[in-house]
Amino acid sequence: MVGGRGAEEGAELTGRLVAERSYPGEEGAVQRVIAAWLSANGLDPVFQATEGDRPNVLARLENGAGPTLLLTGHVDTVLAGEGWSSDPWRARRDGDRLYGLGACDMKAGVAAAMLATRALTRQREAWRGTLLFAAVVDEEAYSLGARALIAAGLRADACVVTESSWERPCLGSVGKVLVRVDVAGKSAHASWPAAGVNAAVEAARFVAQLDEVPLGAHPRMTATRCVLSIHSGSPQYVITVPERAKLLVNRMIVPGESGESVLAEMRALATSLASPASFAFAIDPPHYPPWETAPDQPLVAAFARAYAAATGRAPAWGYTGFGDANLFAGELGIPTIQFGPHGGAFHQADEWVDVPSIGATVRVLQRLALDVLR
């Protein structure tokens, strides 16, 4: 992969973003760096409020009548774990690899989108329409940034989320439903348990049968189910039949499934138990619908041309885990592709990004925009 000057500028910009700690809830500093860079490069960024000092940063280029293309990425990172061989907030270069917290997930992708946006300001004669750049917050938690963008009336004809997916650009992903199950029994003296209804036992009966409930099927994505926690009884020693129990169930859903369908299958299971306890079900945040962009969508064909021009080969499409793309594509129905620089060690010590792939990502985004915006 040939990096070129764009790769080196991308590495430098990525390093500047890595240097700003941006845990969820602490994104204000890195967003100000992004806004200052955009201003210094001839753009007119605006801050969009979310919660506290953690705004989204938006830059809109309007260039006559035409479609709107959204280039977007998140600036928050997971927490720095143990085992880093260098300072997580000081980008370290080793050959073609740049190490740092968020280097690939996903500050290099944000940097690539910034550089592509700047390039397109200098090519206004070659395209028509609107280019919207959005650096959003909180993707690693509740996607407050993407949700704020949507609540403000986001409209776009195409979207690229610049998450790392160089080898297998993504055309879809599973969704996520987090189900809280509250089980209500009846307390009694534990020496005479038959006088009560043991919520812990009834919750356990529910969990024992849960994996017998069929999951949705899809040719390119896999639905899953996982019980995350079970809580019942008192944290203090008491000789009392527990009257309350609570479960948290994580359900990854595929197209054709929804939050309501997941609740319906769980309610049916509870009914089948003929339990003396009562069961209540609710969906807790965050919730993400599944999404899939059809391979014959014009955005996909345009992306394939841009990718082939940069790499010499056709893209091998992939399908990934949930994130902001689920909201833009699954909730708003915007044709979406997830594509960004190559890297590794996501959510681990010594996270890295491949420097040449940053420059190559800029070129793909630039070619794609010139194809879509006309």
User: How far, in Å, CA of 115 to CA of 109, rounded?
Assistant: 10
Residue in the structure block whose two tokens are 């833009």 = 328
CB 10 within 8 A of CB 115: yes
User: How far, in Å, CA of 16 to CA of 30, rounded?
Assistant: 9
Percentage of the chain lying above the pLDDT 70 cut: 99
- Report helix, strand or coil for 62: strand
Question: What pLDDT does 5 receive?
Answer: 58
CB 216 within 8 A of CB 256: yes
- Report helix, strand or coil for 311: helix
User: How far, in Å, CA of 224 to CA of 246, rounded?
Assistant: 20
Question: What pLDDT does 320 receive?
Answer: 85
Query: pLDDT (tens digit, 9 = 90+) per residue, 336-366?
Result: 999 999 999 999 999 999 999 999 999 999 9
Interhelix angle for 108-121 vs 28-40, to 10°? 20
Query: pLDDT (tens digit, 9 = 90+) per residue, 129-144?
Result: 999 999 999 999 999 9
CB 203 within 8 A of CB 181: yes
Show the 3-state SS of 81-119: CCCCCCCCCCCEEECCEEECCCHHHHHHHHHHHHHHHHH
Cβ contacts of 42 within 8 Å, gap of 6 or more: 118, 121
Query: pLDDT (tens digit, 9 = 90+) per residue, 236-283?
Result: 999 999 999 999 999 999 999 999 999 999 999 999 999 999 999 999
Question: What pLDDT does 1 receive?
Answer: 41
Mean local confidence (pLDDT), 287-313? 97
Question: What pLDDT does 200 receive?
Answer: 98
Query: pLDDT (tens digit, 9 = 90+) per residue, 61-82?
Result: 999 999 999 999 999 999 999 9
Query: pLDDT (tens digit, 9 = 90+) per residue, 320-335?
Result: 889 999 999 999 999 9
Torsion, CA 70, CA 76, CA 78, CA 80, rounded to 10: 140
User: How far, in Å, CA of 95 to CA of 120, rounded?
Assistant: 29
Rounded to the nearest integer, the mean pLDDT of the chain is: 96
* 3: pLDDT strictly greater than 80: no
CB 301 within 8 A of CB 308: no
Q: Retrieve residue 13's tokens.
A: 């910009």
| Amino acid found at 343 | G
- What's the predicted TM-score (pTM) here? 0.94
Query: pLDDT (tens digit, 9 = 90+) per residue, 82-126?
Result: 999 999 999 999 999 999 999 999 999 999 999 999 999 999 999
Query: pLDDT (tens digit, 9 = 90+) per residue, 4-35?
Result: 557 899 999 999 999 999 999 999 999 999 99
Closest CA to 113 of 126, 132, 128: 132
| Long-range own/partner contacts, residues 367-371 (CB < 8 A, 24 or more apart) | 367/305, 367/306, 367/309, 367/310, 368/69, 368/160, 368/302, 368/303, 368/306, 369/69, 369/71, 369/116, 369/120, 369/127, 369/131, 370/120, 370/123, 370/126, 370/127, 371/302, 371/305, 371/306
Q: Retrieve residue 210's tokens.
A: 């849960």
Torsion, CA 210, CA 231, CA 254, CA 172, rounded to 10: -150
* 233: pLDDT strictly greater than 50: yes
* 2: pLDDT strictly greater than 60: no
Closest CA to 199 of 233, 226, 228, 227: 233
- Report helix, strand or coil for 303: helix
Q: Which domains, and CATH codes, for the chain?
A: 4-173+290-372 (3.40.630.10), 175-288 (3.30.70.360)
Between the alpha carbon of residue 6 and those of residues 185, 223, 238, 252, 303, the distances in Å are 63, 39, 66, 38, 20
User: How far, in Å, CA of 344 to CA of 164, rounded?
Assistant: 9
Burial of 368 (0-12, 13-18, 19+ CB in 10 A): buried
CB 293 within 8 A of CB 335: yes
